[in-house]
Amino acid sequence: MTVAAAEDPVKLAEFEARLERGETIEPKDWMPEKYRKQLVRMMSQHAHSEVVGMLPEGNWITRAPSLRRKMVLLAKVQDEGGHGLYIYCGTETLGVGREELIEQLLTGKAKYSSIFNYPTLTWADIGVIGWLVDGAAIVNQTMLAKTSYGPYARAMIRICKEENFHKRQGYEICTVMAKGTPAQRAMVQDAVNRWWWPSLMMFGPSDATSPNSAELMRWRVKRETNDALRQRFVNLTIPQAQAIGLSVPDPDLRYNAETENWEFGPIDWSEFQAVIAGNGPCNRERMAARRKAHADGAWVREAAEVHAEKQAARAREHAA
Ligand code: FAQ
């Protein structure tokens, strides 16, 4: 018996009819338990990715090459923290608290995006993350802005606006370096070489091996498949690389005039599997940093709780 079949068939049919009519599902609406669970899984992994994603770029805040670059990078990293917060709030509307979700991250039960387990070795990596990683996130999240769960869709609209700024600042860094000295050019090309394939992996496994896609597509949580979004990202990005004289490390890349797609070579899925299993270049470092930040922040959470209790007691006194 499937999980969906265990649900009240009348409610389930009404739910699916609403999706068919293009309506959004709101927190107080009836939803199948599996729909709720899938959203909690996906949204919490997304929120964790935003927060863990602050680490690779945070690494360069103290070493940004100018005050302007430092201010922009600080703002970007802060934005990522804000995105995490919106999405954790969205997940709370599904009845799961942030504390529980963070616990799942810190114990390794919940995933976060594979991309953030790679190191940021040079300043050019900051440009390439903005261009490729935020660029990939925009392609994925523009689709999610039309997802069937209202609070997630609305969070995505605002997040996408900010991601667009992130992408532009990254592409601008890459453009300046690509037009700079031979050493700067070599540095930005090296960064593209290291981040290209991991960026393609961000979209998840190929459709044929994606266990969640069919259900998520049926319930309109995902509006397009992993492979379709990956192809869109490649089609958008190759002309951008060409415009600034950079190349991607793929000998099989070629334009198919008939399909109007940039066809690309095979992805090394064994690398992807290793990274999501916790064995990427920086998985341990990232988790150690998150655990330390959580432990260091314990006193803030305790103080906030005591303060809230005092405020509530005062309010009760005034009311009495
Ligand atoms: N990394 O069946 P599917 C950003 C897992 S935000 C790690 O295809 P699904 C902003 C997947 O969870 C980036 N794990 O899964 C930023 C599943 O495992 P599970 C994050 C991955 O859900 C920029 C298993 O593989 N964005 O970058 C990955 O249908 C710069 C099978 O996969 C989101 O999370 C991966 N790349 O599709 C921040 C967007 N891919 O849970 C800072 C929301 C797959 O069954 C700096 N999420 N897995 O154990 C999604 O759109 C989807 O969840 C996918 C995966 C597309 C990520």
Segment 72-109, tens digit of pLDDT: 999 999 999 999 999 999 999 999 999 999 999 999 99
Residue 1 pLDDT: 41
Give the atom of ligand 1 at the shortest distance from the alpha carbon of 129: 30
Residue 6 pLDDT: 75
Other CB atoms closer than 10 Å to residue 296's CB: what's the count? 9
Q: Which of 50, 49, 70 is nearest to 60 (CA)?
A: 70
Residue to probe by mutation, ligand 1, list 55, 113, 142, 168, most atoms within 8 Å of CB: 113
Give the atom of ligand 1 at the shortest distance from the alpha carbon of 53: 42
Find the 51 Cα to ligand 1 centroid distance in Å. 14
- Do the Cβ atoms of 221 and 149 come closer than 8 Å? yes
Model confidence pLDDT, tens digit, residues 114-171: 999 999 999 999 999 999 999 999 999 999 999 999 999 999 999 999 999 999 999 9
- One-letter amino acid for residue 139 of the chain: V
Residue 7 pLDDT: 86
Structure-token pair, residue 162: 């900010």
Residue 3 pLDDT: 47
Residues of the chain with pLDDT under 70: 1-5
Nearest-CA residue for ligand 1 atom 50 is: 42
Rounded to whole angstroms, the Cα distance separating 176 from 72 reads: 15
Please provide the distance, in angstroms rounded to a whole number, between the alpha carbons at the two ends of the chain: 55
Find the 183 Cα to ligand 1 centroid distance in Å. 35
User: pTM for the full model?
Assistant: 0.95
Residue to probe by mutation, ligand 1, list 35, 45, 101, 104, most atoms within 8 Å of CB: 45
Cα dihedral across residues 105, 108, 113, 118: positive or negative: positive
3-state percent helix, strand, coil for the chain, nearest multiple of 5 = 70, 0, 25
The three-state secondary structure class of 255 is strand
Q: Which of 103, 108, 73, 72 is nearest to 88 (CA)?
A: 103
Q: How far is CA 179 from CA 131, 138, 172, 183, 243, in A?
A: 16, 26, 11, 11, 11
Residue to probe by mutation, ligand 1, list 59, 77, 111, most atoms within 8 Å of CB: 111
- One-letter amino acid for residue 68 of the chain: R
The three-state secondary structure class of 5 is helix
Rounded to whole angstroms, the Cα distance separating 87 from 273 reads: 25
Buried b (16+ CB within 10 A) or exposed e, 59-77: bbbeebeeeebeebbeebb
- The binding-site residues of ligand 1, defined as CB within 6 angstroms of any ligand atom, are 41-42, 45-46, 49-50, 53, 80, 111, 113-114, 129, 133-134, 137, 140, 201-205, 210-213, 216, 226, 276
